Chain A
Amino acid sequence: MKKKLLIILAISMIFTTGCWDMIEIEDRLLPYTVAIDLSRDGKDNAKRFFICFSYPNINALTEGPSQEDYAFLINANADSIFGAVDQISSRTYNPVFLKHLKVIVLSDQVAQNEQYMREILDGLKRDYIINKMIDLVITRGSAHELLVKKLESSRQHTIEGLFTTLLRNKQRSNQFTPMSLKDFIYNMDHKKAAIIPLASGDPEIEIAGGGLFKDYRLIGFIDADENRNISLLNGDANTEDIDFEYNGANLSLSLLAIRARKKLVDEENLKIQYQLSVDAQVHQYVIDPDKKLQTTEVFEDIQNKIAKIMVDDFNQTIERLQKEFNADALGILEYLYKFHPKIYKEVEKDWDSIFPYIDIEVDVDVKIRRRGLSDY
């Protein structure tokens, strides 16, 4: 009797449902990129942002080439991403579902405003659905223009969206370092300056260099080389290519397995030493019977030259970070927090005034391991 009651109760449950959540997958709009610009609307009551979503055209995904556009753009004026979703629902019959959002493109005008950044990122973080590994990208000028440019470059079309695949390209040459939402927030929490990849659309879609962020605000741009240096020092990257003139010909080497370690060597005066170990491999030299790469001395000479070039390069970047931007993109405060907590407690409050005067030294140790399929 009791079991029957339970079963009747259970079956009656089915009749109370209205399948509220059942929406077919092909009916949904699944954007993978969102772009946020300042609103161009001049009116008084205007919303703050101009938000644009990019989503794939499902018809174009079926087998065989298609004449249709492979992605669409849809945009709205709103105060937040979720407001934009709300607005869009009046223009399309597909419900928008943000789970597959992979990239957010911010215009530099938005990024310079700390309040806007804090709000947008909080929205992304607080939402139950949005993936927290969403990649952040910044662009000069209008982000919307960038997305339009992206649509036009049909050569680079991928299913998941161009930016997603560009950012995760494993063979990238460290001209940019992808920054996910989680890492960005982590860096902001540890007072570390974060670098968000910089995308531009002229003449082709390209991602190189980055925007430097401190305390949720864009404070400047760095170029591809500087980005590379910073990632090498941080251990986020481990390869590099270097070209320089040696003995009357251009010597091209590929630097691999670059490992960076930092150490606090002087506690009183706060001196940090970076030690890098580099494995080098000769990529290209010259076919000339006189120009030989055979003796240890030659190798050592080359190694020293590489080290000098690298150290100079690093120092330049570090100089710029310390003096021009006062941004701790190298994570030194974080390092102190984890490994030297006592010192951290002392310097934490005045970090902004202490950082520019920290002595940061880079020491590079290069070893040429291989020289390719050539004996000299």
Chain B
Amino acid sequence: MIEKISKNIDANIQYIKDILRDNDDLVIRNFEVGEVLRVKMSVVYIDGLINKDFISQFVIGSLMREEDIKSFTLEGYKTTIFEAVQKHGLYSSEIKDESKWDPLFKAMLSGDTLLFVDGCDKAIIVGSRGFPSRSIGEPQTETVIRGPRDGFTEVIKFNTTLIRRRIRDTSLRVKMYSVGRRSQTDVAVMYIEDIANKELVEEVKRRIEAIDIDAIVDSTILENLIEDNYLSPFPQVENTERPDSVAAALYEGRVAIVVDNSPFVLIVPATVGTLMQSAEDHYTRWIEVSVTRIIRHLGLLLLLLSGPLYVALTAYHPGLLPTKLSYFLAASRNNVPFPAIVEAALMEITMELLREGGTRISGPISTTIGIVGGLIIGQAAVEAGIVSPLMIIVVAITTVATFVIPSYEYSAAFRMVKFVLFLFSGFFGLYGITIGVILVLSHLAKLNSFGIPYTSPYSGLGVIEGDLKDVLVKVPVQKLWLRPGFTKPRDKQRMRLDKYDEKRNEDI
């Protein structure tokens, strides 16, 4: 590929037609400017990616109306024509000149328009992006009762804008990268320089720069490429569709990665504590949030343990239940032909089938199918005598518990772990479950998310640093005057108490 453009406009146009052959949405508009000089110019763009009105009015139109150009002398007209065009002729607010082909092509393929002037070895890139995109709507995966309803779209500029609207600090940084050889996807790394830990930011940038791949189709691929441990089922990067969550994360000293074509923004680092927080927690009062958090953790435990415990207690240790419950359990399982573990496996597989099937159906039918399917299949199974009623309850509790966890990947990870625990409990009963839980805990303790321990809130940085105050139980905002310490931020204090009037609380 030739590196620089030539001064001959025909050669340039021919080159473009060569490289982009068989692209019938390529549009080349040749025109002449100036009644006397008749300078040949060309506007090149890809149809569909640009805002056509803009080009017609503010580029071609403005140039064709330009009268100053005819007043130049013959000697210096080549350079000054270009200067005239660049500095006075275009009404556009975003122009750049460029002489290398690589960036020119990239700009054109992103939706900018190229302006070639005959006799000049530089071309002008005019910003004119106008491709179709979704309007800002409520995020589909994370809805809140109270709180903003704008969600990210697939256009990176909109997303960074939504975040910028919430952070008007001069130390907010938006650093752009182009990742992917063929996709040339725009990736923006956003952080607040005064707060975020320098090493963390450097590490993020280093990992992104080190990627050498054909294409990044979605932020998930980027996530997988920059993770610490890609073999683990647990996500080490958080993602969200909500700009307010991203802004809150940035204020905590974390780093956000926005990827073009993806409405999911990555937040780094992620820990066990942050993955259990949902956006709603910021918008509800602290007592309710604390109770909800505890219920979420309880849900996590239920999700992981209720199935395996049922298997272990019925098959291995009938002595560990209170006597009345043991007899009741035996009575309810009386005529079931399968051993407990087979029964559990059957029901779990059925639930997974229902879940997977439910994702393909959209609209009002999906909830119906979910409920109807679950109920009917469960009821029929019990009446047929294949499954004991208690097993249905256990499976139902497990399924409901998966929805309690805010992060989908995180709950999916635990679902996988649950199957492993089933295996353990099927072979070794309660001892197997304990060993399984220990293994999971060890694995979580080993994980790091960008150098920050994954189990940060529970691993000993202490209550004072602010970690535990927002993880298990949420403390009122007035007490949260330190940032969470797990990211080792530079500026630890986020609220100053001197002006706060304590007297307001005395009457409680």
Q: Which of B327, B333, B423 has the most CB of A within 10 A?
A: B327
Which of A39-47, A95-103, A317-325 is the contact stretch?
A95-103
Residue of B nearest to A23 (CB): B315
A25 and B330: CB pair below 8 A?
yes
A21 adjacent to B316 (CB under 8 Å): yes
How many angstroms from the CA of A73 to the CA of B42 in the assembled complex?
103
Chain B: minimal CB distance from A128 (Å)? 10
Contact A25 B319 (CB under 8 A): no
A23 — which chain B residues lie within 8 A by C-beta? 315-316
Q: How far is the CA of A295 from the CA of B332 in the complex (A)?
A: 62
Provide the bound-state CA to CA distance between A25 and B339, in Å: 9
Q: What residues of A have a CB within 8 angstroms of the CB of B426 in the complex?
A: 19, 22
In the complex the two chains form, is A100's CB within 8 Å of B428's CB? no
Complex CA gap A88/B71 in Å reads 119
B324 at the interface (CB under 8 A from A): yes
> Could you tell me how many residues of chain A have their Cβ less than 8 Å away from some Cβ of chain B?
25
By beta carbon, the residue of chain B nearest A14 is B427
Is A159 engaged at the interface, CB distance under 8 Å to the other chain?
A: yes
Of the candidates A19, A22, A99, the one having the most CB atoms from chain B within 10 angstroms of its own CB is A22
B456 CB-CB contact with A under 8 Å: no
Q: A14-B427, A17-B428, A21-B429 are in contact. Are A58 and B327 (CB under 8 A)?
A: yes
Tell me if A138 counts as interface (CB < 8 A to partner B): no
Q: In the complex the two chains form, is A30's CB within 8 Å of B330's CB?
A: yes
* CB pair B334 A24 closer than 8 Å: no
Give the complex CA separation of A58 and B429 in angstroms. 23
A56, B333: Cβ atoms closer than 8 Å: no
Contacts of A97 in B (CB 8 A): 318-319
Pairwise interchain contact B339-A28, C-beta atoms closer than 8 A: no
Inter-chain CA distance A28–B320, complex, in Å, is: 14
Complex: how many Å from CA A23 to CA B332? 16
Taking a contact as CB atoms under 8 Å apart, the answer to whether B334 and A58 are in contact is yes
Given A58-B331, A62-B334, A102-B323: A22 in contact with B315 (beta carbons within 8 A): yes
A25 and B333 contact, Cβ closer than 8 Å, known pairs A17-B428, A99-B319:
yes
Let me know if A116 is at the binding interface, CB within 8 A: no
B318 touches A99 (CB 8 A): yes
Within 8 Å CB of A26, what residues of B? 330-331, 333-334, 336
- Min Cβ gap A160→B in Å is 5
Cβ contact of A100, chosen from B314, B323, B340, cutoff 8 A: B323
Whether B500 is near chain A, meaning CB under 8 Å from some CB there, is no
| Chain B residues touching A, majority SS | helix
**B residues within 8 A CB of A188?**
none
Least Cβ–Cβ distance between B218 and chain A, in angstroms: 30
Q: Which of chain A's residues have a CB closer than 8 A to the CB of B334?
A: 26, 58-59, 62
- The answer to whether A25 and B326 touch (CB under 8 A), given A58-B331, A62-B334, A99-B319, is yes
CB of B417, distance to nearest CB on chain A (Å): 15
- The residue in chain A whose Cβ has the minimal distance to the Cβ of B318 is A25
Choose from B324, B332, B336, B339 the contact partner of A22 (Cβ within 8 Å).
B339
Closest residue of chain B to A99, judged by CB? B319
Q: Which residues of B contact A59 (CB under 8 A)?
A: 331, 334
B328 pairs with A28, CB closer than 8 A: no
Q: Which of A19, A100, A102, A160 contacts B319 (CB 8 A)?
A: A100
User: Within the complex, which residue of A17, A22, A58, A160 is in contact with B330, where a contact is CB–CB below 8 Å?
Assistant: A58
**A24 with B314: CB separation less than 8 A:** yes
- Tell me which residues from 307 to 346 in chain B have a Cβ below 8 Å from any Cβ of chain A: 313-316, 318-319, 323-324, 326-334, 336, 339-341
Q: Are A24 and B315 in contact (CB under 8 A)?
A: yes
Residues of chain B within 8 A of A159, CB atoms compared: 324, 327-328
A28 touches B330 (CB 8 A): yes
A32: Cβ under 8 A from any B Cβ: yes
Question: Across the interface, do A14 and B318 meet the contact criterion of CB distance under 8 Å?
Answer: no
Q: Which residue of A lies closest to B314 (CB)?
A: A25
Determine the distance from Cα of A21 to Cα of B428 in the docked complex, in whole angstroms: 8
Residue of A19, A22, A30 near B327 (CB, 8 A) is A30
Chain A residues with CB below 8 A from B429, complex form: 21-22
Instruction: Give the CA-CA distance A319 to B333 in the complex, in Å.
Output: 57
CB–CB B315/A56 < 8 A: no
Return A96 CB to nearest CB of chain B, in Å.
Answer: 12
Residues of the B chain whose Cβ atoms lie less than 8 Å from the Cβ of A62: 331-332, 334
How far is A76 from B440 in the complex, measured between Cα atoms in Å? 48
CB distance from B441 to the nearest CB of A (A): 16
List B329-373 residues whose CB lies under 8 Å from chain A.
Answer: 329-334, 336, 339-341
Are A24 and B327 within 8 A (Cβ)? no
A61 at the B interface (CB under 8 A): yes
Given A17-B427, A17-B428, A99-B319, is A24 in contact with B324 using a C-beta cutoff of 8 Å? no
Give 19 A-B pairs besides A24-B339, A26-B336 with Cβ atoms closer than 8 angstroms. Answer: A14-B423, A19-B427, A21-B429, A22-B426, A24-B314, A24-B315, A24-B333, A24-B340, A25-B314, A26-B331, A26-B333, A58-B327, A59-B331, A61-B327, A62-B332, A97-B319, A159-B324, A160-B324, A164-B323
Q: Which residues of A approach B to under 8 Å, CB–CB?
A: 14, 17, 19, 21-26, 28, 30, 32, 56, 58-59, 61-62, 97, 99-100, 102, 129, 159-160, 164
> Can you list 10 residue pairs at the A/B interface with Cβ under 8 Å?
A22-B316, A25-B315, A25-B329, A25-B340, A58-B334, A59-B331, A61-B330, A99-B319, A159-B324, A159-B328
Closest 8 CB pairs of A and B: A99-B319, A61-B331, A25-B314, A26-B330, A26-B333, A25-B318, A22-B315, A17-B427
